[in-house]
Amino acid sequence: MNRFYILSTSLHLIIFAVFIFANRAGFKPIPEFEVYKVSIAPLPQPKIVSMEESVEEDVKRETKTEEKAPPEQKAKSEKTKKPKAKTEKIIKKGLPDIKPKIYTGSGRGFTYSYYLNILLNKINKNWHNPFKDRDIVLKSIVYFEVDKNGKLYNVRLEENSGNELYNETTIRAVILAKKLPPLPQEFSDDYLKVHLEFLTAQ
Amino acid sequence: MNIFRIFLDSSLAAQIIMSVLAIFSIWSWAIFFKKLFEFAKVKRLSEIFFSNYYSHQDIQELENMGYLLNDSPYGRILESGIEEYKKLKASKPVHSFEQDTQKENPNLKEELSDNIRLAMERIKITEMSKLETSLPALSTFVSVSPFLGLLGTVWGIMVAFLDIRARGSAHITIVAPGISDALITTVYGLLVAIPALIFYNIFQSRINNFNSEFNKFVSEVFSRLRKNLLHRSEH
The residue of chain B with its CA nearest to that of A31 is B1
> In chain A, what percentage of residues exceed pLDDT 70?
55
Helices (H), chain A: 2-24, 51-68, 71-80, 113-126, 164-177
- Asked if the C-beta of A21 comes within 8 angstroms of chain B's C-beta atoms, the answer is no
CA pair distance A102, B141, nearest whole angstrom: 69
Judge: B169–A128 Cβ closer than 8 Å, yes or no. Answer: yes
* B chain contacts of residue A134, beta-carbon cutoff 8 Å: none
Between B47 and A113, residue with greater pLDDT: B47
CB pairs under 8 A between A and B: 44
The single-letter code of the amino acid at B53 is Y
- The full set of domains in chain A, from first to last, is 51-199 (3.30.1150)
Q: How confident is the model at residue A22 (pLDDT cuts 50, 70, 90)?
A: confident
Mean pLDDT of chain B: 82
Between B54 and B21, residue with greater pLDDT: B21
Mean pLDDT of chain A: 71
CA pair distance B108, B101, nearest whole angstrom: 6
pLDDT of residue A179: 79
CB-closest option in A8, A19, A132 to B33:
A8
Judge: A129–B3 Cβ closer than 8 Å, yes or no. Answer: no
pLDDT of residue A98: 66
Q: How confident is the model at residue A108 (pLDDT cuts 50, 70, 90)?
A: low
Which of A93-102, A181-190, B213-222 has the lowest average pLDDT? A93-102
Judge: B169–A7 Cβ closer than 8 Å, yes or no. Answer: no
Judge: A23–B1 Cβ closer than 8 Å, yes or no. Answer: yes
Return the SS3 of A158.
strand
pLDDT of residue B36: 93
pLDDT at A2 over 70: yes
Helix, strand, coil percent values for chain B (each to nearest 5): 90, 0, 10
Return the SS3 of A12.
helix
pLDDT at B95 over 60: no
Judge: A20–B22 Cβ closer than 8 Å, yes or no. Answer: no
Q: What mean pLDDT comes out for the span A117-144?
A: 82
Contact A177, A152 (CB under 8 A): yes
Interface with chain A: mutation pick from B21, B24, B26, B203, highest number of A CBs within 10 Å: B26
pLDDT of residue A102: 65
Contacts of B29 (CB under 8 A, 6+ apart): A7, A8, A11, A12, B195
Closest CA to B30 of A9, A16, A13: A9
pLDDT for B3-39, tens place per residue?
Answer: 677 777 788 888 899 999 999 999 999 999 999 999 9
Which residue range forms the structural domain that includes residue B166? 3-234
Q: Per DSSP, what are the bridge partners of residue A140?
A: A198
Judge: B30–A1 Cβ closer than 8 Å, yes or no. Answer: yes
Q: How confident is the model at residue A138 (pLDDT cuts 50, 70, 90)?
A: confident
pLDDT at A19 over 90: no
Between A117 and A51, residue with greater pLDDT: A117
* B chain contacts of residue A20, beta-carbon cutoff 8 Å: 2-4
pLDDT for B115-165, tens place per residue?
Answer: 888 888 999 999 999 999 989 999 999 999 999 999 999 988 888 888 777
Nearest C-alpha of chain A: how many angstroms from B162?
13
Task: Give phi and psi for B217, each to the nearest 5.
Answer: -65, -40
pLDDT of residue A147: 86
pLDDT for A44-55, tens place per residue?
Answer: 544 454 555 555
Q: How far is CA B181 from CA A37, A55, A154, B23, in A?
A: 23, 54, 44, 19
CA pair distance A189, A146, nearest whole angstrom: 11
Contact A168, A44 (CB under 8 A): no
For residues B55, B57, B58 and B64, what is the CA-based torsion angle, rounded to 10 degrees? 20
pLDDT of residue A81: 46
Q: What is the distance between the terminal CA atoms of chain A, rounded to a whole angstrom?
A: 64
Q: How confident is the model at residue A183 (pLDDT cuts 50, 70, 90)?
A: confident
Q: How confident is the model at residue A94 (pLDDT cuts 50, 70, 90)?
A: very low
Q: How far is CA B212 from CA A136, B18, B109, B171, B200, in A?
A: 75, 40, 27, 62, 18
- The count of structural domains within chain B is 1
pLDDT of residue A92: 37
Taking a contact as any Cβ pair under 8 Å apart, which residues of chain A between 24 and 63 contact chain B? 29-30
Judge: B26–A29 Cβ closer than 8 Å, yes or no. Answer: no
Judge: A29–B1 Cβ closer than 8 Å, yes or no. Answer: yes
- Around B203, how many Cα atoms within 13 Å sit in the side-chain half-sphere? 30
Between B84 and A67, residue with greater pLDDT: B84
pLDDT for B191-234, tens place per residue?
Answer: 999 999 999 999 999 999 999 999 999 998 888 888 777 765 55
CA pair distance A193, A142, nearest whole angstrom: 11
pLDDT at A111 over 90: no
pLDDT of residue B223: 85
- Asked if the C-beta of B31 comes within 8 angstroms of chain A's C-beta atoms, the answer is yes
